[in-house]
Amino acid sequence: MANSSAHPLTRTLTRTTFQQLRNLLQEMGQPQPETGVFLTEEWLINPTILTSDQVAEFALLASPNFSALLVGRFRAADLTTYDVALTFESGAIAAFLDRLDQTDPDPLVQQKLEQARTILQPNDPGLQSEFTLHLVEVLTGAAAEGSTTIYPPVCRPVEEALRQQVEQERLLNQVSAQIRQSLELPIILETAVQQVRPFLKLDRLLIYQFDNSTNPVQPASQSPNCGRITHESRSGDEILSVLHWTEGDLCFIQVSDSREKYRRGLTQAVSDIETSYPKSHCLLSMLRQIQVRAKLIVPIVVQDELWGLLIAHQCFHPRYWLDNEQEFLQHIARQLEIAIYQAKLYNQIQQEKGHLEQRVVRRTQELYDAMETAEAANRAKSDFLAAMSHELKTPLTCIIGMSETLLRWPLGDLNDRQRRYLQIIHNSGSHLMALISDILDLSQVEAGKAVLRITEFSLSRLAQQSLQTLQEEAQRHEVELVLEVSIIPQQDTFTGDRRRIKQILLNLLSNAIKFTPAGGKVILRSWLEGKTAVFQVEDTGIGIADHQKPLLFNKFQQLDTSYDREYEGTGLGLALTKQLAELHGGRIEVESNLGIGSMFTVWLPPRTAEPSETEPDKVLPEAKIDKGQIILIEEQEEDAMLLCDLLTAANYQVVWIVEGTTAIRQIKMLQPLAVITAMQLPSITGSDIIRSLRETPLVRHVKIMALIDKPIPPEHLSELGADDYLTKPIQPEQFINRLAALLGTPTPAIGSNP
C-alpha cells in the first residue's frame, strides 16, 4: 500500500482532523449514493491487512465522477496523531481494492469491492477542485486552532490529550462520589447521563435497561419485549426524545444478534449508520426514525448478567468515536455497574429486613395466640376447679358436719364401734377436704386470683394456736411439740394475712410431724428480723438427701415412692407453702441432713393493713343467748339440715325459712337475733333480702350473715350489706365461731347443755 500512489498528499494530522477529512470525503459521495461506494475499516471482517501495513483507519470513495483514498497510519511514538496519505489516482485506488479483495473473503465485502472497481473513473476536475478547497479549509482551521497555544506544534496533541484526561478523571470522580453518597439508583443514573453528555459533546445519551424477567441470551423470537429506555439526556429540544421508547427492539436484536456479545463486554462504535447497515432495512429505518447517524454502545454488566446499555448518539452527521471516548464511556459504565450492584444489595437487605419483620410480627402473634390459649386454658381450669370445688366440697361438708354433730350431739349413747365408725367417716372426710382445699388454693395462687386479707394480729398467739391445732395429731404420732418465741410484747403485732400465714405454719408443722418417728421432737420458733417475721420449723425426722432437695417444692412431687404407703399425701403441701410465702412477698429455705432431720425457715415481710379489718382472735365480751332468735334462709335441703343441726347442737334455736319471698314478713314478726341467708336463691336473691331488711326500721339493726358460693375481694364486701359472710361449703367449727363473734358472745361448745 505504500506504493499505491506515485504522488500522494502526506501530512501528520491529529485524529480529530483525520475524522474531519473522512467526513468530508463521505459528504462528497452523498449526491450520488445509488452509483457510488463508500468503504471504511468498519466494513472489513478480516482486518489483518490493516495490521500488517500499520493502517489505523481508512476511507475510500469510488464513484463515476469522483474517487479518493484517505489512509491514516499509526505513529510509533504518538497514538494521538496519524501519518495521513490522500490520493486521487484511480490506479492506486484499484490496487488498494485488490489488496482488500485478497485478504477478506466475505461475500458482502467482495460485492462492494467489485462494485467499486467497476465504477472507478478519472475524477471530474471540478469536483476534485471543490474537494481540494474544502480540504484546505479543514487544514487551515486545524492550524489556526493549534496556533492559540504557547506550546510548539509538536506539543499541542500532548496538551490536548492531558486536558481531556484531567476532565475525564474529574467527571469520573463526580460519578463515584455520587454513588458513595446515595443509594437512590434512579438519581445516580440520571445524574450520570446529564453530566457525561455535554462532556463528550453528544446529541443524546441514554440508558437502555433490559427487562429483568427475560433471559439475556434468549432468542429474539422468544423475547419480544426486551427492555426500554429509562434515562435520557439531550443537547436541545431539536433532538427527538426517546425516553421509555421500546419500538424497534425486535429488529435490533435480529440484526445485531449482540445480547450475548454485550454480556461478554463488547463495545460497539458505529461512525455512520448509512454505511454500516446498508442491508439491515428494519434497523436502519428505526435509527433514522429516532434521528441517529452515529452511535456508541457500551454494555452494563452486573454479576455476569446484562443489565442494560449506555448508548451515545450523534444525530445529524457521522462521528468517528475516538479510543479515549470509548474508554471513558466504559469507565462510566463500570461505575454504574457498581451503583446498580450496590442498590441491588440494599434492596435485598431491605427485603430480608421486611421478611424478618414479618417473621417477628408473625412469631409475636403466634406467641400472643399461644399465651391467649394458655390463659384460656388456665381460665377454663380455674372455672372447672371452682365448679368442682362446690360439687366436691358441698357433700363433703355435709359428711363432715353431720358426723361431727353425731359425735358431739347427745342423742343417746353410742357404742365404741359406732363411735369409731363415725370418727373414721369424719377423719376421712376432713382429710379429703384438706387435699381438695390444697389443690384449689394452689390453683388460685398460680392463676393470680389469690387475694391477701391484711389484718393486724399477734405473732406469738398465732404460733401458739398453730401448735395447739396440731397437738392432737402430734400425740397420736408420739411427737413432742415445742414452741420458742423470741418476740417482745411491744413488737408482737404484725400486719399480714393471718389465715395464709397460719396455713404456711400448719403445712410445715404437719409435714414435720408426719416424717418424724415416735419419740421425736418438732420445734416451732418465731422471731423478728427488723420488721420481717421469721418462722422456723425444725424436726428430728428422716431428713432429705441432697439430690432430692431441688425437687422439694415441686407440685405433686414425693421424694421417694417407698414413702407412699407409710406417709400419705399428694405432694402439694410444700409447693403450696412456697407459693403462699411468695404471695406474701417472702421466701422459704430448707436445711436438712439425711437421718438427722430438717429445718424449714420462712421470712415474711409486713404488708399494708386495711383499716376496716379487725383482728379475729380478740377476746369478745360475753352476752346472753336468747333461744329462738336465729333465722336461716336456705332452699338447699342438705345445706339447711347441716346448718340447723350445727346450730341446734350449739344450743341455738333455729327457724328455717325455705321460701325466700316470705322471709321479710316472718323476720318482722319473729324479731330474731340474727339472720343467716344464702345469696343464691331461686325465688329471690340474698341481696334483695338484705336490702329489704336494711330498709325496714323494725329489723334494720338485726345481725346478718351471708352465705356466698365463692370468695369475693374484701373491697366488695361492703356492697353485700351483710355484717359477715362465709363461703360455701361451710366448715362447722368456723361457722359456729364466726356466728358467736357476730353476736358478741363466747364461742359455745357443740353439744353442751344450755
Can you point out the beta strands (E) in 237-303?
A: 268-270, 294-302
Say whether pLDDT at 167 is over 90.
Answer: no
Q: Are strands 724-727 and 703-708 parallel, antiparallel or unpaired?
A: parallel
Q: What percent of the chain has pLDDT over 90?
A: 17
CATH says 454-604 is which class? Answer: alpha beta
pLDDT at 225: 47
CB 436 within 8 A of CB 430: no
Query: CA 546 → CA 381, 442, 551, 571, distances in Å?
Result: 34, 26, 10, 18
pLDDT at 310: 93
- Give tens-digit pLDDT for 694-727: 888 888 889 999 998 877 766 666 777 888 888 8
210 bridge partner residues:
227
Query: Which residues are within 8 A (CB) of 619 and not within 5 positions of it... i.e. 6 or more apart?
Result: none
**CA-closest candidate to residue 646, choices 503, 747, 720, 499:** 747
Confidence tier at 212 by pLDDT (50, 70, 90): low
- Give tens-digit pLDDT for 299-329: 999 988 899 999 999 998 888 888 888 888 9
Confidence tier at 745 by pLDDT (50, 70, 90): confident
Per residue, the 3-state secondary structure of 60-73, as one string, reads EEECCCCCEEEEEE
pLDDT at 110: 81
pLDDT at 228: 85
Say whether pLDDT at 203 is over 70.
Answer: yes
In the chain, where the domains are located: 9-148, 182-321, 454-604, 630-743
pLDDT at 245: 77
Average pLDDT over residues 723-743: 86
Residue length, the chain? 754
CA pair distance 731, 741, nearest whole angstrom? 15
- Give tens-digit pLDDT for 267-280: 889 988 888 877 77
CB 245 within 8 A of CB 225: no
pLDDT at 605: 94
- Give tens-digit pLDDT for 421-430: 888 887 777 7
CA pair distance 652, 688, nearest whole angstrom? 26
Confidence tier at 223 by pLDDT (50, 70, 90): very low
Average pLDDT over residues 523-540: 95
Lowest mean pLDDT among 118-132, 480-494, 654-668: 654-668
pLDDT at 324: 81
Q: Which three cell numbers stand for residue 50?
A: 490493516
Confidence tier at 528 by pLDDT (50, 70, 90): very high
Say whether pLDDT at 50 is over 90.
Answer: no
Q: Which three cell numbers stand for residue 473?
A: 395429731
CB 539 within 8 A of CB 545: no
CA 493 to chain centre: 53
Say whether pLDDT at 222 is over 60.
Answer: no
Confidence tier at 257 by pLDDT (50, 70, 90): low
pLDDT at 486: 93
Confidence tier at 247 by pLDDT (50, 70, 90): low
CA pair distance 386, 435, nearest whole angstrom? 15
Say whether pLDDT at 157 is over 60.
Answer: no
- Give tens-digit pLDDT for 353-405: 888 888 889 988 988 888 888 878 877 776 776 666 667 776 777 777 777 77
pLDDT at 626: 44
CA pair distance 140, 134, nearest whole angstrom? 10
Confidence tier at 527 by pLDDT (50, 70, 90): very high
Say whether pLDDT at 195 is over 50.
Answer: yes
Lowest mean pLDDT among 341-355, 493-507, 547-561, 677-691: 547-561
Confidence tier at 3 by pLDDT (50, 70, 90): very low
Topology adopted by domain 630-743: Rossmann fold (3.40.50)
**CA-closest candidate to residue 505, choices 584, 429, 428:** 584
Query: Which residues are within 8 A (CB) of 605 and not within 5 positions of it... i.e. 6 or more apart?
Result: 531, 532, 533, 584, 585, 586
- Give tens-digit pLDDT for 604-625: 999 875 444 444 443 333 333 4
Say whether pLDDT at 656 is over 50.
Answer: yes
CA pair distance 330, 310, nearest whole angstrom? 9
Say whether pLDDT at 264 is over 80.
Answer: yes
- Give tens-digit pLDDT for 115-137: 888 888 888 888 888 888 888 88
SS3 call for 482: strand
Say whether pLDDT at 459 is over 90.
Answer: yes
pLDDT at 389: 65
What's 1's DSSP letter? -
> Which of 383-397, 502-516, 672-686 has the highest average model confidence (pLDDT)?
502-516
CA pair distance 31, 14, nearest whole angstrom? 28
Say whether pLDDT at 488 is over 80.
Answer: yes
First-to-last alpha carbon distance for the chain, in angstroms, is 151
**CA-closest candidate to residue 743, choices 635, 630, 666, 643:** 630
Lowest mean pLDDT among 441-455, 506-520, 597-611: 441-455
CATH says 182-321 is which class? Answer: alpha beta
> Mean pLDDT over all residues of the chain?
79
What's 272's DSSP letter? -
pLDDT at 748: 62
Q: What percent of the chain has pLDDT over 70?
A: 78
